[in-house]
Chains A and B, each alone.
Chain A
C-alpha cells in the first residue's frame, strides 16, 4: 500500500479558518504527511469550501466555490484536509452541487487527515512526544458523518480513529469527556444565529473536558476548537485547545 501511495500526488486542502487563523495546523499537516513519505502539494489561493453558506440555508451559493475547489484539486490522486466538517461537506454535497457522479469529482478522493492516516496510510508508528494530558473532542460531523469514532447513540462496536492515532504518541495521557460526543455548539451559522445557546453549549462542553483533568482539548475540527477557544479566553479557563495534527507532529 505504502509503495503505491509514494507515487501518488497528495493535494493539501486548507480550509479558510485554518488559512487565516490556524496556519500552524496547515504546517503540521504538511509535516505529518511528508513524514510518512508522501508527496504533498498545496494548490495556491484556496479560499472556502462553501459549507458556511450551505448550512445557513444557501447551498446554491456554494456552487461556484465547489467548481473552484474541484478545479484546484483536479490533478491530485488524493486530497487531504485537517477539518472533518469541511471535508465532509465536500464529500456529501459536491456531487449534487457539481451535478456529477461522486467518482467524477473531488468527493471520491477527499479525506480528513486522521481518516487518511488511519485507513489509507495505515500508520502504526508516529515519531511524536507530547507529555501532556489531552481530552479528545469528538466533533459531530467527525463522528456522525465521517465515522471517525463510533457514535454514542448506536449499538455498534466501539472504536475511535483519533484515539488510535493519539495512542502512538509517546508520553501522552488520553481522556474523553463524559458526554463523549455531545455537540460543542459551534454549528457554523448557528453560532451567531443562536449565540446564547451556542455559547451555553460551548461552556458545558468545556466543563466536561476540564473534568477529565486534561490540559488540552484536541480534535480533528478547527472550527469547534475555535469556538471553544473563544469561550475559554472569555472565561479565562485553565485549559487550551490544540488540533490533533499539532500533537501528532509535535516532534517533527
Chain B
C-alpha cells in the first residue's frame, strides 16, 4: 500500500470530518465555477496565460536579466539563490546587517519550500506568520494542509482552543468574528514591533522591475508599511514580461483560487520609500532542472492558486497531510516527484485520473497527464508496488492469450466471482467496501459463437 493510501485510510475513518472537508473545498470549487462562467473570455484567458508562461520560461534568462536591471534601477536590491540554503543564508545576512530581532511574514509557499522559519528561529529570530490561517498553523506547530487555505482542515473549536493557549482568548468562544478580532489585535502588536517584513511574490514584471503580492487580509501591506526592510522571496518562474500580461493573471488568480473577482489586496512594489529597503531574492532551487524536463516543464507555469486541490476528489477526501510533500493534491504529486522521486513516489497513487485538475488550471497545466507519466516511471525508480507489478504481469499474460482469458473467466464463474487478475490482487482490496462483480453465465464471446447475439429483425424472423 502506498504511503498516501495508508494515510488516506486513516483520514477517511473520521467520516464526518471527511465529508466536511470535501464539502468545504467543493464549495470553493463551485464559487470558482460561478465566477469563471461569468467571464465570456475565460477559456481565452487560460490559453493566453499558458502561452505567456510558456514564452516567459522559454526565455527565462532574458526576462530574469531584464527584471534584475530594471529592479536595480528602481532601487531594489536583487539577490540570487541557487537553492534553499543559499536563500536562507541571504535572509539571515540581511537580518544580521540590520541587527534585526523580529520578522513578520505574509504567506509564502517558497519560504515553506526552503524551510526558512525553522532556520531563522534556530538562529534566534522571532518569525511571525501574519496570514490568519498560517498563524493558526504556526501556533499548532504544523505545516499548512492547503497552499491557499492553510488551515482549511482545522475546525473553529480547535482554533478557539489554541488561541486560548497562545493569546488568551475565551476557550469556549469559537465565534469566527471574535477569534478574528483577537488575532487582529495580536498581530497588530507584531506588525508594530517588526524590524523586517517578508513576503512572497505572486508575479514579477520584467519590463518594470516591479513585483506584485496578492492577499485577502492586507497583511503583506501592513507588514511592509511598518517595517523599514522588506525582503521578497521569489521563484524564478514567477516572472511575466509586462503589465499587459500581468492583467491576464490578476484576472485568473483569485477567480481560480477562491472564486473572488480579485484578491482584496493586490500590492505593487516598485521602489523603496525614502529611508526604506526592498530586497528581492530570486530562487532557483531545482527550477532550471524542471525546465529541462520535457514531460514536466509545464509545472513552471503554476501560479499557486490551489484550484487543482479544490477540485481533486482524492485531495478533498483525504486531506493535505496524507501526502508526503508540503504541497498536496495534483500540484503536490507532480512537484514532489520533481523534487525527490524516490521519497515521494507514495503520492502517485492518489489520483483516479479524472482530469478535473487539468480543466480547472488557469495556466492549463496538464496535471493529470503528468501524473499518468510519473506512474510509468515508478518501476524505473524501483518504487512500483510489487503486488501491483505482479498483478499487471499476470494480466499481461492472461489478456495476451484468449485461451487463458476465457479459461480464467470459466474458473472464476465456478466460485462465482471475478478471477483474481481482474480485480487485481489476492488481498481483495476491492472487497473492502464493495461486493465483487458476478461473472455472467456466458461471456459475450460464447454467446456470439453460439449464435445467441441477434438483432431484433433476425429474432423476429426465427
Interface positions of A (Cβ within 8 A of B)? 14, 16-24, 26-27, 30-31, 34-35, 40, 42, 44-48, 50, 52-62, 64-65, 68, 140-141, 144-145, 151-156, 179, 181-183, 185-204, 226-227, 229-231, 233-234, 252
B352 interface residue per 8 A CB criterion? yes
Contacts of B313 in A (CB 8 A): 182-183, 185, 201
Contact A194 B353 (CB under 8 A): no
Contacts of A18 in B (CB 8 A): 444
Contact A192 B424 (CB under 8 A): yes
Contact A195 B354 (CB under 8 A): no
A-B contact pairs, 10 of them (CB 8 A): A21-B438, A23-B444, A27-B447, A46-B402, A48-B399, A59-B376, A153-B33, A196-B9, A201-B352, A234-B435
Q: Which of A35, A57, A179, A187 contacts B384 (CB 8 A)?
A: A57
Kindly identify, within residues 414 to 462 of chain B, every residue whose CB is under 8 Å from any CB belonging to chain A. Answer: 418, 422-425, 429-430, 432-440, 442-445, 447-449, 453-457
Contacts of A156 in B (CB 8 A): 43
Contact A231 B434 (CB under 8 A): yes
- When C-beta atoms are compared, the residue in chain B nearest to A41 turns out to be B448
Q: Which of A23, A230, A233 contacts B447 (CB 8 A)?
A: A23
B4 interface residue per 8 A CB criterion? yes
B437 to chain A, nearest CB (A): 5
- List the 9 shortest-distance A-B pairs measured between CB atoms, nearest first: A230-B434, A199-B433, A187-B352, A57-B375, A34-B455, A45-B402, A153-B359, A183-B354, A26-B444
Give complex CA distance A20, B408 in Å. 10
Contact A190 B12 (CB under 8 A): no
B5 interface residue per 8 A CB criterion? yes
Contact B5 A153 (CB under 8 A): no
B405 interface residue per 8 A CB criterion? yes
User: What mask results when residues 8 to 22 of chain B are scored 1 for a CB within 8 Å of chain A, else 0?
Assistant: 110010000011001
- When C-beta atoms are compared, the residue in chain A nearest to B23 turns out to be A204
Give complex CA distance A156, B456 in Å. 39
Contacts of B384 in A (CB 8 A): 57-58
Contacts of B402 in A (CB 8 A): 45-47
Contacts of B435 in A (CB 8 A): 229-230, 233-234
Give complex CA distance A87, B442 in Å. 23
CB within 8 Å for A201 and B317 given contacts A19-B445, A23-B443, A155-B43: yes
Contacts of B439 in A (CB 8 A): 20-21
Contact A202 B433 (CB under 8 A): yes
Contacts of A179 in B (CB 8 A): 26
CB within 8 Å for A56 and B388 given contacts A145-B355, A194-B4, A196-B5: yes
Give complex CA distance A173, B5 in Å. 39
Give complex CA distance A204, B21 in Å. 13
Contacts of B406 in A (CB 8 A): 45
Q: Which of B350, B355, B423 contacts A194 (CB 8 A)?
A: B350
B263 interface residue per 8 A CB criterion? no
The DSSP consensus for interface residues of chain B is: helix
Give complex CA distance A231, B439 in Å. 17
Give complex CA distance A41, B133 in Å. 61
- When C-beta atoms are compared, the residue in chain B nearest to A196 turns out to be B9
Contact A194 B424 (CB under 8 A): no
Give complex CA distance A155, B40 in Å. 8
Kindly identify, within residues 332 to 361 of chain B, every residue whose CB is under 8 Å from any CB belonging to chain A. Answer: 348-356, 358-360
Contact B379 A65 (CB under 8 A): no
Interface locus among B51-59, B181-189, B268-276, B390-398: B390-398
Give complex CA distance A67, B372 in Å. 21
Contact A199 B448 (CB under 8 A): no
Q: Which of B37, B352, B385, B444 contacts A27 (CB 8 A)?
A: B444
Give complex CA distance A182, B406 in Å. 34
Give complex CA distance A194, B2 in Å. 8
Contact B456 A193 (CB under 8 A): no
Contacts of B423 in A (CB 8 A): 192
The DSSP consensus for interface residues of chain A is: helix
Give complex CA distance A187, B445 in Å. 26
Give complex CA distance A47, B399 in Å. 6
CB within 8 Å for A31 and B456 given contacts A57-B378, A144-B356, A193-B388: yes
- Of A31, A46, A198, most buried by chain B (CB within 10 Å of CB) is A198
- Of A151, A181, A185, A189, most buried by chain B (CB within 10 Å of CB) is A189
Give complex CA distance A139, B200 in Å. 39
CB within 8 Å for A68 and B4 given contacts A140-B352, A187-B354, A230-B430: no
Q: Which of B2, B19, B359, B432 contacts A151 (CB 8 A)?
A: B359
A137 to chain B, nearest CB (A): 13
B382 interface residue per 8 A CB criterion? no
Contact A42 B12 (CB under 8 A): no
Contact B354 A140 (CB under 8 A): yes
CB within 8 Å for A204 and B22 given contacts A14-B444, A19-B445, A183-B352: yes
Contacts of B399 in A (CB 8 A): 16, 47-48, 50, 65
Give complex CA distance A64, B438 in Å. 28
Contacts of A196 in B (CB 8 A): 5, 8-9, 12, 432-433
Contact B356 A183 (CB under 8 A): yes
Give complex CA distance A37, B302 in Å. 51
CB within 8 Å for A21 and B400 given contacts A34-B457, A35-B455: no
Give complex CA distance A194, B433 in Å. 11
A240 to chain B, nearest CB (A): 14
Contact B37 A195 (CB under 8 A): no
Q: Which of A20, A30, A195 contacts B440 (CB 8 A)?
A: A20
Contacts of B43 in A (CB 8 A): 154-156
B199 interface residue per 8 A CB criterion? no
Contact B433 A61 (CB under 8 A): no
A125 to chain B, nearest CB (A): 15
- When C-beta atoms are compared, the residue in chain B nearest to A63 turns out to be B396
B42 interface residue per 8 A CB criterion? yes
- When C-beta atoms are compared, the residue in chain B nearest to A38 turns out to be B455
Q: Which of A62, A195, A229 contacts B430 (CB 8 A)?
A: A195
Give complex CA distance A4, B148 in Å. 56
Contact A56 B375 (CB under 8 A): yes
CB within 8 Å for A153 and B353 given contacts A21-B418, A197-B12: no
